[in-house]
């Protein structure tokens, strides 16, 4: 049995890197990367990742518990599965990232950062995920759930983001996100450089980035607050029925603009502590640069991930409109 999180925190290489247990084979592929293959036929190949941002610890703990329960036989694995803790160095140091944000470096963007640790890690993860999906029979359906927690509080506390795609959105994933009691779904309007955009665009996986509450250090998470997504992940890997949704219907939003910081004097027209999904009325000034209005709300809109502290050239927020049924 592998101590999935303990090995990462201790920077320890397991003495045994593969084996068979219960009805599956397992393999330690790299630091923080562990694969499981059921001995019987399977219909789904699933990537579960967390810790792409090292200080977002609750999802890391969920995946650690999941791996323990698979090894212990508590969960009967029915899918091919790879578990990924994205940024081990940042996880050990309790930082979001060490040099550069990994979740802006996929789809080949890591090549711009040459010899940095995060660039090498992204290249490694891209190759490991490619090998994982390509080892599956052609008819196997591919999925990727990338688990995060948000830097700031949110008026809609839990939500998922779909990478931009031209084909339809997978019904099974939509059902899973609904059962996980998420408050909102956000649909991107343009190609990105996130981990989920990589798996979606390269392998046509049904992919989503999940934001599951507020980032806290190890030992400070109340994992009972994550019980809905935890139950869904366990249903996903065991092919069990999903729990029934208890909340009102999920809200749906579409990204209509990305705010890019290009000047040192960049400002957002809201408090530093403003939560995700803060709203702007039509014609309101959202951002200023060089002392002039830079982004003006075309209609009633919401802002997601506002952050004036990003490096120049990076996204300082997403502008959303609500999709009404």
Active site residues: 211
Is the sign of the CA dihedral 187, 193, 194, 195 positive or negative?
A: positive
Strand partners, 189: none
Nearest Cα to Cα of residue 46 among 4, 1, 84, 103: 84
Q: Binding site annotation covers 53?
A: yes
CA distance linking residue 214 with residue 56, whole number of Å: 8
Angle between helices 117-134 and 195-203 (to 10 degrees): 30
Q: Binding site annotation covers 239?
A: no
Helix (H) or strand (E) holding 36: strand 33-38
DSSP annotation of 274 reads P
Strand partners, 141: 44
Q: Binding site annotation covers 27?
A: no
Q: Which residues are CB-neighbours of 7 under 8 A, at least 6 positions away?
A: 13, 14, 31
Buried residues in 51-87 as b, exposed as e (16+ CB within 10 A) = bbbbbbbbbbbbbbbbbbebbeeebebbbbbbbbbbb
Say if residues 90 and 55 touch (Cβ distance below 8 Å): yes
Nearest Cα to Cα of residue 304 among 317, 314, 285: 317
- Please give the full DSSP string across 40-75, using - where no structure is assigned: S--SEEEEEEE-SSTT-HHHHHHHHHHHHHHHHTSS
Annotated binding site for Zn(2+): 53, 56, 148
């Amino acid at each position: 049995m592998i101590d999935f999180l303990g090995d990462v925190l201790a920077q320890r290489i397991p003495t045994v890197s593969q084996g068979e247990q219960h009805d599956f084979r397992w393999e330690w592929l790299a630091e923080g990367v562990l694969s499981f293959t059921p001995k019987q036929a399977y219909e789904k190949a699933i990537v579960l990742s967390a810790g792409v941002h090292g200080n977002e610890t609750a999802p890391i703990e969920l995946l650690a518990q999941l791996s323990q329960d698979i090894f212990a036989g508590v969960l009967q694995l029915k899918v091919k599965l790879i578990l990924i803790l994205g940024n081990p160095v940042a996880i050990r140091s309790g930082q979001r990232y060490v040099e550069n944000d990994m979740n802006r470096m996929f789809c080949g963007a890591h090549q711009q950062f040459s010899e940095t640790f995060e660039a090498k890690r992204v290249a490694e993860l891209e190759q490991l995920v490619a090998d994982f999906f390509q080892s599956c029979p052609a008819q196997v359906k591919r999925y990727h759930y990338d688990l995060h927690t948000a830097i700031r509080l949110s008026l809609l506390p839990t939500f998922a983001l779909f990478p931009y795609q031209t084909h339809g959105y997978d019904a099974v994933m939509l059902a899973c996100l609904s059962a996980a009691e998420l408050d909102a779904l956000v649909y991107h309007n343009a190609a990105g450089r996130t981990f989920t955009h990589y798996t979606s665009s390269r392998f046509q996986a049904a992919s989503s980035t999940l934001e599951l509450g507020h980032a806290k250090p190890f030992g400070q998470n109340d994992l009972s607050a994550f019980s809905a997504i935890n139950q869904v992940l366990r249903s996903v890997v065991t092919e069990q029925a999903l729990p029934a949704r208890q909340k009102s219907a999920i809200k749906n939003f579409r990204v209509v603009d990305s705010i890019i910081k290009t000047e040192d004097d960049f400002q957002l027209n809201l408090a530093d502590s403003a939560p995700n999904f803060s709203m702007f009325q039509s014609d309101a000034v959202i951002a200023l640069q060089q002392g002039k209005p830079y982004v003006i709300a075309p209609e009633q809109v919401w802002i997601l991930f506002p952050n004036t502290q990003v490096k120049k050239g990076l996204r300082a927020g997403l502008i959303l409109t609500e999709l009404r049924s």
